[in-house]
Amino acid sequence: MHVKCCDVPDPAMTCKPIEKSLLIRSCENGQGIYPRRCDFQSLVGVTYDSQSQVLNFYESIAFSVQDSVQELRHNFQDNLEQRNDHEYPWGKVGAEEDLVWQVGNSSSSALYLNPHSRVDLYQVVATCGHYIVRTNRFFRNITDLLTGDIEKEYFET
């Protein structure tokens, strides 16, 4: 019996990146008269979908997140930066952007809500096959519970 083997393409180069906003925390201070602290955890960097069955195959033939980061970065620069509807500057190069292209790091942060407000906190992420790239770019939608007005604010960690 003869088995023909072939080159397996790098999944970091062949996946199609899709940017999205991921809700990571909601907090409300509806009845208070003082600001309320809202704690949240954030993960910045390259991770993967641990539920992916395809991942086991790629790991079994020596593909890893660490080895694929540069190819994945080039894929994002080539495919997402060309579009005008993205929230994160995928083509930008610098120290802050380099944090995004490391293996995922977790941190804790907090924000404060004024009385009679609600905040929905989002992180800008992108998926590409079984990879998940979590940026250091966040935004919060702050709702005034008395008027219903919504304000959107961007920030980076």
| 130 occurs within a structural domain | yes
How many domains is the chain partitioned into structurally?
1
pLDDT tens digits along 94-131: 766 778 888 888 999 999 999 999 999 999 999 988 88
- 113, containing H or E segment: strand 105-113
- Per-residue model confidence (pLDDT) at position 139: 96
Place of tokens 């190819």: 71
| 4 occurs within a structural domain | no
Place of tokens 């999205």: 20
- Per-residue model confidence (pLDDT) at position 103: 82
> Which residue range is the domain that position 123 belongs to?
11-156
- Phi/psi of residue 56, each to 5°? -60, -40
| 83 occurs within a structural domain | yes
pLDDT tens digits along 46-98: 887 766 555 555 565 556 666 777 888 888 888 887 667 778 888 776 766 77
Place of tokens 């991921």: 22
| 91 occurs within a structural domain | yes
> Model-level pTM?
0.81
| 5 occurs within a structural domain | no
| 3 occurs within a structural domain | no
| 148 occurs within a structural domain | yes
| 106 occurs within a structural domain | yes
